Amino acid sequence: MKYDEFEYIRFDRKGDVLVVTIDRPDDDLNAVDERLHHELTALFPALQSEQDARAIVLTGSGKAFCAGGDFGWFPSLQTPGRLEKLRLDAKNMIWDLLDVPQPIVCVLNGHAMGLGASLALLCDVIFASDDARIGDPHVKVGVVAGDGGTAVWPLAVGPAKAKQYLLTGDALGAADAERLGLINFVVPKEELMRQGLAFAERLAAGAPLAVQYTKLAVNKLIKDALNTSFDVATALEIVTFQSEDHKEALEAIAAKRAPRFRGR
C-alpha cells in the first residue's frame, strides 16, 4: 500500500524523520479490528521502501498507543480459514517490522496492550508517557500470547519476570517498565513527542549505514528468539481461539462479570 491508501494510519514528515501515527477514527483506544490489522500488516513493507526518512517515530492518537485486539472483532475470526490468514498476517507483520532499515523510535502516548505492546517492544527505542501502561493480557481472554510476546518479553526482562506478566496478563506502569528494562525513557505527557522526536532526529543525523547495519545485527538476536517461539505460540493461539474458555471470556466481558474458565 502507498501512504495515501491507509485509513487508520497517518504519515507526517518532520525533516529527516517520518512520524507514523496509529489513528483509528472510530476508537480513541486504537483497538485492532480487521481493517487496522490489515493496515499494520501493510505498514512495515511500505516503510521498508521509504527513501527519504532516516528515522521513524511510531506513535498513536487518542487515549492509547494501541489497546490490542478489538473484542467485537474476535467472534468473526471463527469463520473457517480466518484464523490461519490472521496467523500468516501476524507473522509477516512482526518480521517486516524487524526488517525496516531505519531506526524506529516508539512514542507511547498511552496504553500499549497485547499486539500493541509487541509492536512497541520490537521498536528500537521506546519513550513512554508517565501515565502509560504496557501489558500482554492474552491469557485474560483465554488465548495464548501469539503475536511476539513470548519472545520479546523474556528478551527484555528475563524468563521469570516475563512469565510473571504473560501468565497473569498484568500490566505495568511506565515507571516500572523502565525500571525493569522493558522500555527506555519515561517522559511527562506534555514533553513526550518533543523528546521522542528529538531522539529520532539524533538518530537521523547519524551515519545511515552504520546505524542501519547495527540495528540489523541486533535484530538478528531478536529473530533467533522469534524463530524459537513464534510459530509455536501462534499455532497454540489458534487452538485457544477455538476453545470454550475463550468463548467464556468474551461472554464474561460482555456481561461485565468474572469469567469461569474450565480448561477446555
Output the CA angle 108-110-115, nearest 5 degrees.
Answer: 70
Amino acid occupying residue 12: D
Largest CA distance in the chain: 55
| pLDDT tens, position by position, 232-243 | 999 899 899 889
Residue 74, pLDDT above cutoff 80 = no
Cell 516475563 found at: 162
For residue 53, what is the DSSP state? -
Average pLDDT, the chain: 94
pLDDT computed for residue 256 by the predictor: 93
Delineate the domains of the chain, giving CATH numbers in brackets.
3-190 (3.90.226.10)
Q: What is the DSSP string of 125-160?
A: EEEEETT-EEE--GGGGT---TTTHHHHHHHHH-HH
User: Given pLDDT bands bounded at 50, 70 and 90, which one contains residue 136?
Assistant: very high
Integer Cα distance of 125 and 127 in angstroms: 7
- β-strand partners of 111: 64
Q: How many residues does the chain have?
A: 264
